[in-house]
Structure 1
Amino acid sequence: MKVSVIIPVYNAEKYVTKAVESALQFEEVYEVILIEDQSPDNALEVCRSLSERYDRVKFFQHPDKANHGASASRNLGIKKASGDFIAFLDADDYYLANRFDAEKDLFQDPKVEGVYGALGVHFYSEKAKEQYYKVFRNSITTVYEKHPPKDVFPGQLNMKGSFGMFSIDTLTVRRNPLLNKMQIFFRPDLKLHEDTEFLFRLSYFLNLYPGIIDEAIALRGVHEENRITEIGINKKIPAKTRSIMWRYVHDWAQKEESMPENFRIHIQRMKRSFDIATASNPKKLIMILKYLILDYQSIRSGLYNINFRKTII
Structure 2
Amino acid sequence: MKKQPLISVIVASYNYAKYIKETLDSLIRQTNKSFEVIVVDDGSRDQSLPIIEEYANRFKNIKLYTHPSNQNRGLAETVKLGIEKSNGEYIAFCESDDYWTNNHIEYLQNTIQQNPLANFIVNGIKVINLSNNPEYDSYIEFSSSFLKKHSGSNIFPYLDSNYIPTFSAVCVKKK
Normalising by structure 1, we get a TM-score of 0.47
Aligned residue runs from structure 1 range 89-238, under 5 A:
89-108=94-113, 109-123=115-129, 132=132, 134=134, 135-136=136-137, 139=141, 141-142=143-144, 143=146, 145-146=149-150, 148-149=153-154, 152-158=155-161, 165-166=163-164, 167-175=166-174, 179=175
Partner deviation per Cα, 1:95-150 (whole Å, 9 max, x = no partner): 11342454333312321222111111122xxxxx5x6353326836333543853x
- Structure in which a larger fraction of residues adopt helix: 1
Aligned residue runs from structure 1 range 269-308, under 5 A:
none
Question: Distance in 1 between the 2:122 and 2:44 partners?
Answer: 29
Question: Distance in 1 between the 2:49 and 2:107 partners?
Answer: 34
Question: Distance in 1 between the 2:16 and 2:133 partners?
Answer: 21
C-alpha change, 1:148 and 1:45, in structure 2 (3 Å) is closer
Match of 1:232 in 2: none
C-alpha change, 1:103 and 1:44, in structure 2 (3 Å) is closer
Match of 1:8 in 2: 12
Instruction: Check whether the contact 2:27–2:99 (CA below 8 A) recurs between aligned residues.
Output: yes
Name structure 2 gaps, 5 residues minimum: none
For residue 3 of structure 1, report the CA deviation from its aligned partner. Answer: 1.5
Which structure's relative contact order is higher, taking Cα pairs within 8 Å and 6+ residues apart?
Answer: 2
Match of 2:39 in 1: 34
For residue 16 of structure 1, report the CA deviation from its aligned partner. Answer: 0.7
**RMSD (Å), alpha carbons:** 2.4
C-alpha change, 1:53 and 1:28, in structure 2 (3 Å) is closer
SS at match of 1:6: strand
Which of 46, 52, 75 aligns to 1:47? It is: 52
Partner deviation per Cα, 1:141-186 (whole Å, 9 max, x = no partner): 333543853xx3341114xxxxx712321112222xxx3xxxxxxx
Instruction: Check whether the contact 2:40–2:82 (CA below 8 A) recurs between aligned residues.
Output: yes
Taking every aligned residue pair, what percent have the same amino acid on both sides? 24
C-alpha change, 1:110 and 1:37, in structure 2 (3 Å) is same
Question: Distance in 2 between the 1:2 and 1:111 partners?
Answer: 14
Name structure 1 gaps, 5 residues minimum: 124-128, 159-163, 180-313
1:65 aligns with 2:70: yes
For residue 67 of structure 1, report the CA deviation from its aligned partner. Answer: 0.2
Question: Distance in 2 between the 1:59 and 1:171 partners?
Answer: 21
Question: Distance in 1 between the 2:15 and 2:101 partners?
Answer: 23
Aligned residue runs from structure 1 range 232-247, under 5 A:
none
Matched residue count: 163
Normalising by structure 2, we get a TM-score of 0.80
Larger Rg: 1
